[in-house]
Amino acid sequence: MPDVPSIHAVAALFVTFVTFVLFAMGRPRIELICLGLIAVLALGFYFFPFVQEGRFTGMEVAFGGFSHEALVAICCLMVLGNGLLLTGALEPASRALARLWRYSTGAGLFCSIVICMGISMFVNDTPVLVLTLPLLLSVAMRVGAPASKTLMPVNCAILIGGTATTIGTSTNLLVVSIAEDLGLRPIGIFDFTPIVLTAAAVAVPYLWLVMPRLLPAIDTTTRASRRVYDAALHIANGSRGAGKTVAQIEAMIGASVRVGGVLRPRALVKVDDSGLMLQPGDRLLVTGSIEGLREASDLLKAPLAEPQVMDLVRGHAERERRDQRIAELVIGSESSLSGQSVKAARIADRYGVAVLGAARAEPLPFHARETPAAEELSVGDVLLVQGTPERLVALELGEGALLLEGGLDVPHSAKATLALLIVGGVVALATLKLVPVAIAALAGTVGMLATGCVRFDSVGRALRLEVIVLVAASIALGRALVETGAAEWLGSLLAYALAPLPPAAILASLMAFTTVLTNFVSNAAAAAVTTPIAVTFASALETSPEPFVLAVLFGCNISYVTPMAYQTNLLIMSAARYRFSDFVRAGLPLALLMITTLAWLLVRHYEL
């Protein structure tokens, strides 16, 4: 029978239980729960300190998460992902993948799951998600599907793939190393790959067909509205639209944007002939959402405003070293823009802001136009405008209009290749294990900022408070369980309880215990606590220790049930705005499925 735990260990277990209940309830807000947890640990260790290795360590445990390398790594990785989005570095891949998703959402998700699972067998899980996350967010925006339905299945696929080889995650290497130090024979890179791939084949249908149905449809595209705008694509020299007919262009841009005709440069006559071939100087009248218009503009290389106006706006942004944004400007009853046309108001000359389109309070048919810029504006109209945030605010104040919340960042595509090289360097450093992930990510973030791929004023938008405090709180809670001896006491209690059971039951229970532990403390701590227990069980049973060590290794990777279980969970939590309960609802069935399947396969393979 294990010794009675210390008062600090009992307190740590009680705090862990209360925290889990509050997380599962979803009230109060997750950041308040995390700050409350840190406060409880700090006050508890302050008034009831404990000594370890001859010094007081309680306050270090409570506040150590804010200086932990995992927090630095996660924040830097979020900035790197934002840099790929801001530069449009993944636009070509996003368009190609979006075509597959438009053809079949199911096929798109299945391919994403299988490809990411395969890559993560050889590349650390975190770099795989860093590259995948912005791509999936971009695809979700293009096809209008909620990213919350896809990010968790793909993330879980990455975690499963990382379980299949000893180099898949650093935790795998740690478990194998501890086992070797305890006298176990070296485990090869692919020794347990067939077992994991068999379990993965069982898990993929759940990830593909069931998990998306358990996840909420959270709208992460609040940066842009679904309002439909009338606009004009300006065909210039070098445009992909030049030399193509209207019918060919309609096939290129798809159904998300409706073509209304063509304005010729001299006569300003609208032409309806779908067989008309476009020439430089033509303006293609279109109607669509912000995302649809942007995608059509990128595909045709045709700006949504006069090229000289776009050059003017771009020049202001470069001189001021500011990012550009696309925003919506409402014409109110007191606005001086009411009764004027865009051309007469000289918005570009006076404010350095381009007008890309307009949504009319009382929509006009295409034939009522002379030219979009010459249309008289009225109260209730919404202009689609592009410029730096400061110039957009100046336009709002100067004309008595109202900027709506949200908007879109304009990719500075000239930096796209540079952003890809920086992220590629981070992935290479992390994959080859030349430096820790935190150092590689920090170096990449510095590179993004130094080269202008990410502006300093954009860093705040890449980070989310609830993720930062959740990381700090989870690290503090995990350290409290380990440092107070609570985790070790649980392990000894498990060893005592499982001693009378047959080997198969011990193996399954050991994996389940490791899974529970790894979802609340770090994977490394779970491995350090349970690997020696596994070897001890095997010795007592006079059987091979390898299946028991693999049970620990698999359990350390079943990190699907809580957001703090693995840093990739925190990244997708930030991107998709998941709640704690979403991880429990969708991840717990997967964890049970993997534990059952892997335990059964281990028992059969090793004939226990």
Cβ-Cβ contacts under 8 Å for 592 (sequence gap 6 or more):
none
Identical fold, 224-303 and 305-406: yes
Return d(Cα 134, Cα 137) in angstroms, integer: 5
Q: pLDDT value at position 368?
A: 47
Supply the CATH classification number for the domain 305-406: 3.30.70.1450
Q: pLDDT value at position 195?
A: 94
Assign a CATH topology to domain 224-303: Alpha-Beta Plaits (3.30.70)
Return d(Cα 368, Cα 348) in angstroms, integer: 24
**Rounded mean pLDDT for each run of 10 residues along the chain, 608 residues in total:** 79 84 73 87 86 66 79 80 75 72 84 89 78 80 81 94 84 80 80 94 96 86 66 87 84 80 67 73 87 84 89 87 85 83 86 89 53 74 90 89 77 79 82 78 90 79 74 77 78 76 85 88 75 78 86 93 86 86 94 94 88
The DSSP line for 428-486 is HHHHTTSS-HHHHHHHHHHHHHHHTSS-HHHHHHH--HHHHHHHHHHHHHHHHHHHTTH
Q: pLDDT value at position 599?
A: 92
Q: Please tell me the number of Cα atoms within 13 Å of 409 on its side-chain side.
A: 21
Backbone angles phi, psi at 282, to 5 degrees: -70, 155
pLDDT digits (tens, 9 = 90+) for 209-222: 999 999 998 866 54
Q: pLDDT value at position 177?
A: 79
Return d(Cα 28, Cα 33) in angstroms, integer: 7
Q: pLDDT value at position 224?
A: 47
Q: Is the pTM of this model over 0.85?
A: no
The closest alpha carbon to 261, from 102, 368, 349, belongs to: 368
C-alpha gyration radius of the chain: 28
Domain residue ranges of the chain, discontinuous segments joined by +: 70-221+415-453, 224-303, 305-406
The closest alpha carbon to 478, from 543, 257, 39, 470, belongs to: 470
Could you give the percent of the chain with pLDDT greater than 70? 90
pLDDT digits (tens, 9 = 90+) for 139-189: 887 777 788 999 999 999 999 999 998 877 778 877 887 788 777 888 887
